[in-house]
Structure 1
């Protein structure tokens, strides 16, 4: 029965990404890139400046919101997902990951700016929001907002958290102890490791959203910087291979005979799927964190979340790709997953390499699990039309902990395809919505740039773009 379900999910995933999402993602990203006059490149220096702006200690800063969204984006997909894309699709998959990040930066800017415009105020004066809220506020459709909220909860508490758990435990399959603890023909490590991980997650989420912000704020910068430094070391030690690697990436990316001969396993398909899974641009997840930030103008947080896409894919995914490709190991489907990266680093650092990847996966998986649940709790509050009490939320948290355990027990194909399908449903809802509401975000961008040109620190008023009385925060 499980095999039949896995096969069905795999078919749905291939159909979604072969005929629908590839067109939607590229079309929407290119549309906003052109409409915003390449905002993701033109205002990249401004996005870096905005991240450092100070706010009062009782509010979520732009930097903290960036860390929560980056914690969710930067996860096991940055290691295992990239390795899978290269192992299955070849060198060219890296190019398509880059492309989806560059054009997706514009989509990420728009969706997060919209989340700021239509955010809500809680009893303590703090803000919250996300796609469900801008869907209801601007399109007057609470039903669609609820559908999106359910899709997000299924994706992040279900698909993504199961995948993060699976990837972490799967990275241990190369170690001798994995096959020493057996029950019949099945290793006990997924059961034991999944239980330990689930318990650790349960301990951390008892504190709720504020604790998640604090934990991710400490872990994300540490793990990201250290991982990139390791990749740079690999590139320096193998600098002679770099020209060949970049030639292979570009030539393989445009091997259209291979692409159309077997699209599901092509560089284009794998690069776009894994790029989307990694940076989540246009999916509608990061706006939930963006709405919580206390900024003087919605565009500021749009720029910050745009930067998060670049951190995720252009920096961290590229770091993984270079780790894999600079060591001379030829990509092959037999090496898919964590073993590809572990074997690559093993050729440079010996036994330390595989252990480093396992440690990185532990940090990446843990922060992903926590960041994902932050999103889910906001959507549960939206569905309930109120802030759920701690006892009520603990029921969901217990469910989330069980899901983390289950994920460690699943098989490679099912857990990846399920995450892809659930994420695809979110994108199919969110992308048309941000196209419909895109003019509002672009008017907001124009207002920001006018104030910058006048030498002001931009401050937003809803009336400046014709939304007087239509927002809760900016009147």
Structure 2
């Protein structure tokens, strides 16, 4: 009889191969073809839009909305997730992570454009929305929208936050004081108390400080990674040879597909950049832009920043050092060993500090999406303060549990709940994709005419009154 962890791993394996890999590949390639490679072709345009101010003073800009979604994407997955993919799947996981990032960026464009088209307006004139709203209004499937919200809550309040807590405590494994029985409990308790304190209204200064420090820590991390790579520049050619050789070792891949570099690269890449998952559209909908396609273009950049910059920094830093790749060091130890080969004992400490900051802001940031889902489930109104207090206490307890579970259980829970979101969102995006593609055509038509694109619902076939915000 299978134990609970084996059951979770079995569900995880079947969900990603063959189901999710096929769905993600078909959706990404379809959107890439229909948009003529929008994620590559209009890269320069995305950069231009990023610096545009919002249409109204005090409203959320494209840059601000992108930073919210990027803050959720950037976190422990960029360090621990990449390490796990390499140590358990092989160096070839990097190639499949890159490939799915570029293909998946087209899905990120579609979902964020749809979120903009179907966004709603509150009593103050501010915008809000996300997949639940384009499922409800675009497909007229309110029950499916409810199911998506349930999966979103399970993903961000449970799966991702448990994994984030586990990843944080795992960075202490190599320290002499670490005790596998007591240390996870102590770290989990401290993290749960801090999270609960901030969620219940306190700790605003803590949140402000960490939110300010994290971008600098992210830049510092990339710089540190570059220094390590420069120190090992002689090994860089052989490193890329290793990545490509392993990526196309199909005898090995098909010999154990569920644990291959291809599957691990796709799984960890999706966990990190969340392209097509349906999370970023919740932030994208809040941006005040003159045309929905603008926010879709900006969100492709967020995917690139996460995977092609931060995840690649981790992968190349680790592989360039030649540190032995074994399942025993998967996660934080592999990264700490790699950075320690150049910076000595200071390296692992830097990773620990970075992980503490990344993990904490991710834990708090994840619940931004959860709040949106709870509002939708509560009839588009914010739940009572009493309910939210109880809910936030439960969230803090989940953080504590996450620090004490096994690595397999933590990753499987996150993969399964995220997979559920993706299996709802991507088919919906394909059904509604023509609307987003027509929106892109309208945007490009106006740009070719030398105009600053302004969206009018009737220009892509909507009747007056169909779209809440744009009417």
Computed over aligned residues only, the root mean square deviation of the Cα atoms, in angstroms, reads 1.8
In the TM superposition, residue 427 of structure 1 has moved relative to its aligned partner by: 0.8
After TM superposition, the structure 1 = structure 2 runs for residues 222-261 of structure 1, keeping only pairs within 5 Å, are 222-261=216-255
Give the Cα separation in 2 of the matches to 1:214 and 1:297: 31
Which residue does the alignment assign to 1:357? 351
Give the Cα separation in 2 of the matches to 1:442 and 1:17: 27
Give the Cα separation in 2 of the matches to 1:295 and 1:213: 28
In the TM superposition, residue 189 of structure 1 has moved relative to its aligned partner by: 1.8
Please state if 1:421 is matched with 2:416: yes
Q: Which moved more, 1:451-460 or 1:254-263?
A: 451-460
Taking a change above 3 Å as real, the CA distance of residues 390 and 301 of structure 1, as seen in their structure-2 partners, is: farther
Unmatched segments (≥5 aa) in structure 2: none
Q: Assess if the C-alpha contact under 8 Å between 2:211 and 2:361 holds in 1.
A: no
1:157-189, Cα deviation, whole Å (9 max, x unpaired): 00000000100001101101113xxxxxx5322
Q: Assess if the C-alpha contact under 8 Å between 2:129 and 2:282 holds in 1.
A: yes
SS at match of 2:95: helix
**From 460, 463, 466, the counterpart of 2:455:** 460
Taking a change above 3 Å as real, the CA distance of residues 216 and 463 of structure 1, as seen in their structure-2 partners, is: farther
SS at match of 1:176: coil
Which residue does the alignment assign to 2:212? 218
In the TM superposition, residue 58 of structure 1 has moved relative to its aligned partner by: 2.8
Q: Which moved more, 1:45-54 or 1:152-161?
A: 45-54
Give the Cα separation in 2 of the matches to 1:177 and 1:45: 50
Which residue does the alignment assign to 1:403? 398
**From 427, 430, 436, the counterpart of 1:441:** 436
Give the Cα separation in 1 of the matches to 2:293 and 2:45: 11
In the TM superposition, residue 466 of structure 1 has moved relative to its aligned partner by: 1.1
In the TM superposition, residue 285 of structure 1 has moved relative to its aligned partner by: 0.7
1:26-76, Cα deviation, whole Å (9 max, x unpaired): 111011011101111111111122121112553222112111111111111
Which residue does the alignment assign to 1:48? 47
After TM superposition, the structure 1 = structure 2 runs for residues 370-385 of structure 1, keeping only pairs within 5 Å, are 370-385=364-379
Which residue does the alignment assign to 2:79? 79
**From 280, 287, 304, the counterpart of 2:281:** 287
1:251-273, Cα deviation, whole Å (9 max, x unpaired): 11010000000112211011011
In the TM superposition, residue 390 of structure 1 has moved relative to its aligned partner by: 3.7
Unmatched segments (≥5 aa) in structure 1: 180-185
After TM superposition, the score normalised by the length of structure 1 is: 0.95
Q: Assess if the C-alpha contact under 8 Å between 2:323 and 2:338 holds in 1.
A: yes
Q: Assess if the C-alpha contact under 8 Å between 2:272 and 2:306 holds in 1.
A: yes
Which residue does the alignment assign to 1:4? 3
In the TM superposition, residue 224 of structure 1 has moved relative to its aligned partner by: 2.1
1:93-120, Cα deviation, whole Å (9 max, x unpaired): 0000001100000000000100010011
**From 373, 388, 407, the counterpart of 1:393:** 388
Which residue does the alignment assign to 1:182? none
Please state if 1:31 is matched with 2:30: yes
SS at match of 1:79: helix
SS at match of 1:174: coil
Taking a change above 3 Å as real, the CA distance of residues 112 and 322 of structure 1, as seen in their structure-2 partners, is: same
Give the Cα separation in 2 of the matches to 1:451 and 1:214: 40
Q: Assess if the C-alpha contact under 8 Å between 1:86 and 1:267 holds in 2.
A: yes
Give the Cα separation in 1 of the matches to 2:198 and 2:212: 14
SS at match of 1:408: helix
Taking a change above 3 Å as real, the CA distance of residues 284 and 464 of structure 1, as seen in their structure-2 partners, is: same
In the TM superposition, residue 225 of structure 1 has moved relative to its aligned partner by: 1.3
Q: Which moved more, 1:315-324 or 1:65-74?
A: 65-74
In the TM superposition, residue 393 of structure 1 has moved relative to its aligned partner by: 2.3
Give the Cα separation in 2 of the matches to 1:75 and 1:219: 13
SS at match of 1:178: coil
Give the Cα separation in 1 of the matches to 2:451 and 2:261: 46
How many positions carry a matched residue from both structures? 467
Q: Assess if the C-alpha contact under 8 Å between 2:207 and 2:361 holds in 1.
A: no
SS at match of 2:324: coil
Taking a change above 3 Å as real, the CA distance of residues 298 and 125 of structure 1, as seen in their structure-2 partners, is: same
After TM superposition, the structure 1 = structure 2 runs for residues 153-168 of structure 1, keeping only pairs within 5 Å, are 153-168=153-168
In the TM superposition, residue 204 of structure 1 has moved relative to its aligned partner by: 2.9
Taking a change above 3 Å as real, the CA distance of residues 296 and 391 of structure 1, as seen in their structure-2 partners, is: farther
In the TM superposition, residue 219 of structure 1 has moved relative to its aligned partner by: 4.2
Give the Cα separation in 2 of the matches to 1:369 and 1:215: 15
In the TM superposition, residue 211 of structure 1 has moved relative to its aligned partner by: 9.6
**From 304, 309, 320, the counterpart of 1:315:** 309
SS at match of 2:288: coil
1:116-163, Cα deviation, whole Å (9 max, x unpaired): 100111122111111010000011111000000000000110000000
After TM superposition, the structure 1 = structure 2 runs for residues 256-267 of structure 1, keeping only pairs within 5 Å, are 256-267=250-261
Which residue does the alignment assign to 2:330? 336
